[in-house]
Amino acid sequence: MLYMILGRDAEQSLQRRSGARDAHLARIRALADDGRLVLAGPLPAIDAEDPGPAGFSGSLIVAEFDSLISARDWADGDPYLQCGAWTETEVKPFKQVLP
């Protein structure tokens, strides 16, 4: 089943994000390599492709997991959460309708 993972950024998270970005992306690439990733990306804090120093308010990942528990476990292991770039994650079942 698909699950939505929403990571919420801490204030002034850019430096922490930068330090953990490679490890964070490696985990997401592994989902993609396994054919389980639907989409993933950051949420700019302002209405801009590149938010610059305004940074990000969070990140969204939609991927396939065996269960809600396994999706939560995966989210709990994310480097952004572990380094404090994210303050929390929200994980919910997701039903893709389109495309």
Range list of H helices, 34-95: 68-76, 79-83
Residue of 55, 51, 47 lying closest to 85 (CA atoms):
55
Q: Which domains are seen in the chain, by residue range?
A: 2-94 (3.30.70.1060)
pLDDT at site 57: 98
Tens of pLDDT, residue by residue over 14-67, are 999 999 999 999 999 999 999 999 999 999 999 999 999 999 999 999 999 999
pTM for the whole structure: 0.95
Q: Which residues contact residue 35 at a Cβ distance below 8 angstroms, ignoring those fewer than 6 apart?
A: none
Question: Which residues in the chain belong to E strands, given as ranges?
Answer: 2-9, 37-44, 56-64, 86-94
The three-state secondary structure class of 24 is helix
